[in-house]
Chain A
Amino acid sequence: MAQSFTLSASQLLYSRVEAEYSPKGRSGYQVVFHSPSLSATEVSAIERRVQCFQGDGDRLQFFTLETGRVAIVYSTIIEPDMRINDKEGRRGAFIAHALIFEPNDFARVRNDPFLVLEAERESPIFVNEPQVLADEIGAKKATIPIMVSATPRRTVEPPSGWSAPELAKLEDWMERGRTDQTLMFLADATQTEELMSVIHFFASPQERLALSFDTAVDGCQPTPGMYWAVGGRKRLSNAKIIIVEYDKPRLPDIPPTAPKAVGYGTWLKHSLKESVTNTIEMIPTAQFLAGLWAENRWQNPDFELSAVATQQFVQFHWGAIFPRIISALEIHLGSAMAQNFAQALSRLGWQPQTQFRMAIEQQVDVKHLAHYVYHWLLMTNTTDLANEADKLLALADVAQYLPLRILALLNQKKGLFNRYKQSEALSQTLDYAVNTSLQNGNNLFEETLLQLCPKFTTPDRLVTQFTAPFIAQHLTGQNYPEDIIINVIDAFLDVGAGRHLAPLTEFVSRLSSKSLQQIQRKFKNTMPAPQFAQAVDMRLRQKF
């Protein structure tokens, strides 16, 4: 066991003893020791459940006390020691050893008694011999430490006769919990223990506490409802004891409980019908996710979640998870865009675990979101996002994610965005430049844009009302060919950014009269910077 933690259990020992070993100084069956932490009511409640045992081997019991404490009891028939147990040496004497856990402690093993039993097997605790009993009575240990693996996991194999539909029906009974009815498995104690191990493996941690059991009730007439299930070879005659043959199980149908939005039980039933073997592999992950959903709180798993199980679980509950994802996204994307974007999450490669986490936490890592929105904008067919530009810009600013900001800005000029999307080389260059910028710790848009401009041959594609001043500043002093200069100036005028053309006045002297005439024609639509307009006007007059 590489890493482990210690559970602390109170204890109670019950057996037949001679007066010398009795706390009351009398012979007979009795509680021979109990931890002082147990109240008289608790001692009495445990005693009532353990005192009758007519088996011929071992018995395992699991139940919750009214105080919320949890008891696991192991009983075994002993060869009585005439000095310690029975001076007459009569048959049938037994020792019952109860370990009692605080609810919070027991939750650390996910309320699974069989994880405690596995730890017990590693390092035996239960008293099963008269002399050990006598020693324990003398030792008066108030608590028993139990070393449990820090990441306890187990697996099971369902009994061969139990088909997937019967196991699925069992889930209905598990969900219903303890009622005034009790399931009775016609089986020996070992078979019942194995079956209960499977049932507890299938059950969610929340369900487990209600799945109390007693593996050997022959000759003890259990009260219906005292346990969720009992085991025995002799059929009990009581309308509230539901007999289930271990070898040929046929569970009565009961109406399922009201389905929960994200119900582990409904998933389990569905999954069992698909494949029992796969379900067993997926159960730990599904239980973990369902537990998080129930608590409405994310917690990092202490084991490797199965990607397949997570995907299946999220898919199965998509109807409940999707609205909560939308709700988380709406904060950044607004309702319409959130709806569209959420539908593309899987296509974008957004991991099911991340989707699930977002649904639970109702918040999203903005950098992560900005990155995926950027890629979504590139692949989506929804071209008209002009109305969403403000939201995209805000997200890009919060996330300080430049590629998205650039896309948002480009998007403000209809058509330009589409050109950008079509230019793979351009987008790659843009990505490269932005990432470089990010890696250098310089994530200011302006600087990035300036770095971008020399990297592509047609900077006009980047011209918007917002980018124009920076592009103009960048081009100053550069030796661009005439056709590029013309295109850029054209783009300035087309997007209504003529007022930012002043820095480009120096280029006017290098342009042909034909080009200048073409530019001047556009002055009618957009007023250029006066300095630029005058330079064009003067140049044309000089030539003609």
Chain B
Amino acid sequence: MFGIFAKKVRFTCPRCLRQIKVPEKESNRDYPCPECGYVMPIAYIKGYETAPPLFVQMFGMSSHGKTLFLDVLRLNLMGIDAHWGQYTHRSLTELDIEKEKNLRTDVERGLLPNSTQPRERNQNEVYIMQLKQIPRWGSRTLVVMDHPGEYFESLNVPHEEIPFLIGTPTTVMLISIPDLIKNERGESMDHLLNAYITTMERNGVNFSRQRRKLIIVFAKADIIPNLSPSLKHYLQDDHVWSEIQTGYGSHRLDGQGLLEYLERMHRVSNEVKDWLKHDAQNRRLGGRTLVKLIEDTNIEARYTVISSLGQDVSRDDAAVYINPRRVIDPFLWALEFQSR
């Protein structure tokens, strides 16, 4: 009846990245991916053209703060309408709704997220959040998958379990310098990048032809002992979270305010890069080699500093009430990267 001339709807499975093409009539329902079985919500399919997906792949060592960053970013995106006038957000799956509820209650109770468990590719949990009318970038569907740090700690990254890593151009590489300093096993930031590059090359990625994009995020920046004063100031001078909490703010992130924010992010990125190359502590932790490797491999990188908690947390603290800093920056870089 439909034949080959029937109108088709195209979309990408948010879990395995398979390209799917179905007759329009069949797109009016949740649709199971023929590859991995993931049931895509109808809102994802319907909004695929108007709110294209923004895939975010995290890459970082165990307990450096990847899950915490993603959780706090989500909390920011749930409340950032104080800064973005027309903006709305919508969780598209039961999993996302559950996640939202848990995040809100965990924040109230001062609970931190669990350690992330490894999963099989077809067990991966995909978080899908539809973000409408973001200033400058329009509507996007944020698709996030989280993986445990132990996946990334050797040159044998199990890429088959992490489809976004090869299949999407942008990766958020999260590094905690305080943890590297405490580390007794000689891990360094260039080792992490090396694991990323090796995995890509083993999977046929030709860096000279295909420019990959990395957002290098220095987490727990508020407790980095050697952070430069200007970066420390940049970190502290963030009002997004406090204005989300109060619902009122004078630092709107739209129009001219957003442009200025992005320009400042650029400057900070360059400053972090210089700090990595020249600070003695960072050089010992492989910072200079990291920058050099990025340049040599033709990777387009941006550098940010964040603090998901906004404070140093003692192990004995029964409850932790967060005050995140600059957590929105990596997200804005991802938007910039995937909008060009």
A residues sitting closer than 8 Å to B (CB atoms) are 16, 19, 25-30, 48, 51-54, 82, 86-93, 219-224, 234, 237-240
Is there an interface contact between A27 and B114, defined as CB atoms closer than 8 Å? no
Partner of A29, one of B115, B123, B124, B184: B115
Nearest chain B residue, comparing its CB with the CB of A82: B315
Can you give 7 A-B contacts (C-beta < 8 A)?
A16-B115, A19-B185, A26-B150, A27-B63, A28-B118, A91-B113, A221-B124
Partner of B114, one of A90, A234, A237: A90
Distance in angstroms from A496 CB to nearest chain B CB is 89
Most B Cβ at <10 Å: residue of A16, A54, A240: A16
Complex CA distance for A237 and B95, rounded to whole angstroms: 11
Partner of A222, one of B94, B113, B123: B123
Which of A26, A48, A93 is within 8 Å of B62, CB to CB?
A26
B263 within 8 A of A: no
B339 at the interface (CB under 8 A from A): no
CB of B92 within 8 Å of the partner chain: no
- A52/B153 contact (C-beta < 8 A), A89-B315, A220-B123 known: no
Indicate whether B336 reaches chain A with its CB closer than 8 angstroms. Answer: no
For residues 142 through 187 of chain B, which have their beta carbon under 8 Å from a beta carbon of chain A? 148-150, 153-154, 184-185
Closest to B30 in A: A237
Chain B residues with Cβ below 8 Å from A82 are: 315
Residues of B within 8 A of A29 (CB): 115, 117-118, 148, 150
**Residues on B with beta carbons closer than 8 Å to the beta carbon of A221:** 119, 122-125
For B, the interface residue count at a CB cutoff of 8 angstroms equals 29
Q: How far is the CA of A222 from the CA of B123 in the complex (A)?
A: 6
B237 within 8 A of A: no
Instruction: Answer yes or no: B39 CB below 8 A from chain A CBs.
Output: yes
B residues whose Cβ falls under 8 Å from a Cβ of A: 30, 32, 37, 39, 62-63, 94, 98, 111-115, 117-120, 122-125, 148-150, 153-154, 184-185, 315
**Inter-subunit contact B63/A88 (CB<8 Å):** yes
Residues B123 and A27 in contact, CB atoms below 8 Å apart: no
Identify the 5 closest CB pairs spanning chains A and B, nearest first.
Answer: A28-B150, A92-B114, A28-B62, A90-B115, A221-B123
In whole angstroms, what is the CA distance A20 to B201 when docked?
A: 31
User: Are the CB atoms of A223 and B37 closer together than 8 Å?
Assistant: yes
Cβ A27 vs Cβ B62 within 8 A: yes
Q: Are B113 and A90 in contact (CB under 8 A)?
A: yes
Extra A-B contacts (16), CB below 8 Å, given A29-B148, A219-B125: A19-B185, A26-B62, A26-B150, A28-B62, A28-B115, A29-B117, A48-B120, A87-B63, A90-B113, A90-B115, A91-B111, A91-B115, A92-B117, A221-B125, A223-B122, A234-B94
A51 with B119, Cβ < 8 A, contacts A30-B150, A91-B111 known: yes
A30 to B149, CA, bound (A): 11
Chain A residue numbers with a CB within 8 Å of B113 are 90-91
Contacts of B63 in A (CB 8 A): 27, 86-88, 90
Contact A91 B119 (CB under 8 A): no
B185 partner residues in chain A, CB cutoff 8 A = 19, 25-26
- Residue numbers in A under 8 Å from B98 (CB-CB): 234
Within 8 Å CB of B315, what residues of A?
82, 88-89
Q: Which residue of A lies closest to B316 (CB)?
A: A89
Interface centre among A29, A51, A82 (most CB of B within 10 A): A29
Find chain A residues with CB under 8 A from B114 CB: 90-93
A25 to B184, CA, bound (A): 11
